Amino acid sequence: MAQDHAQVTRALNSLAKGLAPFVEERMEVIYKNRWRSVVQDSFRGGRGLPQQTGSEPNWDAHSLLTVMWDQWNSVFRHQLGHAERSLVSELRTFRNQWAHQEAFEFDDTYRIYDSAERLLSAIDSPEAQWLAKGKRELMKAEFDRELRAAYRRSKARR
């Protein structure tokens, strides 16, 4: 559903906005001034490498999740646990489905919002609140759709 694809786009953009400062800070703590070159090493053949704006990476969800996955043992496992690693893996899968224009049903769209919110909550990102609000809006819209469908079915039976 096109609406769900747009919702997923918003969730992934919010995820990127919330993760970027955390990823940069953690990479810099471990790798100091070499962190940008280590980021580049996470992208075989330069594919998926975050675009540069000046000397700073222009992050998207794909590049952030790739770096987190690639650098998990060296960088991120010190602050995040197994549950968060699973969230990174799940979000990578959803992001790839999104990039290949796969359709998203309500359950998957809601799960993306929930998983992104959980990951951002684990790093105390304020973007988690935006995703929590988005989850509530998704649920309300789904309940409204179900209610309208039930009403139409009951009306048709009369």
Q: What confidence category does residue 47 fall into, taking pLDDT thresholds of 50, 70 and 90?
A: low
Residues 112 and 11 sit within 8 Å (Cβ to Cβ): yes
Buried-exposed string 88-107: b where 16+ CB fall within 10 A, e elsewhere? bebbbebbebbeeeeebebe
Structure confidence by residue, pLDDT tens digits, 100-151: 999 999 999 999 999 999 999 999 999 999 999 999 999 999 999 889 888 8
Residue 45: pLDDT over 80: no
Q: What is the Cα–Cα distance from 126 to 145, expressed in whole angstroms?
A: 30
Structure confidence by residue, pLDDT tens digits, 22-43: 999 999 999 999 998 899 888 8
Q: What is the Cα–Cα distance from 60 to 54, expressed in whole angstroms?
A: 16
Q: What is the DSSP string of 127-144?
A: HHHHHHHHHHHHHHHHHH
For residue 156, the model assigns a pLDDT of: 80
What is the Cα Rg of the chain in Å?
18
Instruction: Say what the pTM is.
Output: 0.89
For residue 51, the model assigns a pLDDT of: 60
Euclidean distance between the first and final Cα of the chain, in Å?
Answer: 31
Q: What is the Cα–Cα distance from 66 to 70, expressed in whole angstroms?
A: 6
For residue 54, the model assigns a pLDDT of: 62
Residue 3: pLDDT over 80: no
Q: What is the Cα–Cα distance from 115 to 110, expressed in whole angstroms?
A: 9
Residues 109 and 4 sit within 8 Å (Cβ to Cβ): yes
Q: Provide the CB-side half-sphere exposure for 107 (13 A, CA).
A: 0
Burial of 31 (0-12, 13-18, 19+ CB in 10 A): middle
